[in-house]
Copies of this chain bind each other. A is one copy, B any other.
Amino acid sequence: MGKFSNKISETVIRRMPVYHRYLTELIESDVERVSSKDFSAITGFSASQIRQDLNNFGGFGQQGYGYNTKQLKEQVDKILGIDKTYNTIIIGAGRLGSALARYKGFRTSGFMVTSLFDIDETIKNVSGIEVKPMRQVRDYIKEEKVEVAIITVPKEACKEVADILIDAGIKGIWNFSPYDLKAPERVAVENIRLNDSLMTLSYYMKEL
């Protein structure tokens, strides 16, 4: 973590991917430098906040100049750890699982989906991707050094599946089951709660 290794708050971390996204756009538009003021207009975060966020990780800017977009993006990539590649598997070969298996966008974040697993051994492949039986997942994780698992099983199965994965040594879980998976110490978990998001949408529609 370099010289600034005090714990960074989650609110700061969740803004980093946004910085990443807009920096990518700026670079694609051949913009070489950006001031916190300009970046504020783009991202919607205050200039002060942007400077403070970035300074949690180091002094990436230059007085009188601003930030070099390419250099800053490299730093953000490094902070987020997406300069690395993660072997990734998907558990649950249902519709969502197979849709995610086919999605190429995750590769830009370094997540390489190498295999799909399902409890139903009669499913041999979905839209061209081989599906392996769940009973092989443990050995596969160990042999192929799989670090990340995407869970798209029904909520009843989520906990059980997660326990198997964690026991097999998985490091990160991206959970789409509508079940609040608690992260044990040595595993990172991101719960995607689509239903919660819909309910929030519903609330704000009422408020219009």
Contacts and interface: CB of A to CB of B under 8 A. Distances in A.
Interface of A: 13-14, 16-18, 20-21, 79-82, 84, 86, 94-96, 98-99, 102-103, 105-106, 108-111, 127, 147-148, 171-172, 174, 178, 180, 185-190, 192-208
Given A95-B99, A96-B103, A200 B14 contact: yes
Given A193-B17, A198-B190, A105 B203 contact: no
Q: What's the number of copies of this chain in the assembled complex?
A: 2
Contacts of A16: 199-200, 203
A18 B196 contact: yes
Contact of A208 (B188, B199, B205): B188
Nearest to A150: B198
**Residue in A21, A79, A174 whose Cβ sees the most chain B Cβ within 10 Å:** A21
Given A17-B196, A103-B95, A105-B195, A147 B205 contact: yes
Contacts of A106: 194-195, 198
Contact of A80 (B189, B190, B203): B203
B172 A205 contact: yes
A68 to B, nearest CB: 21
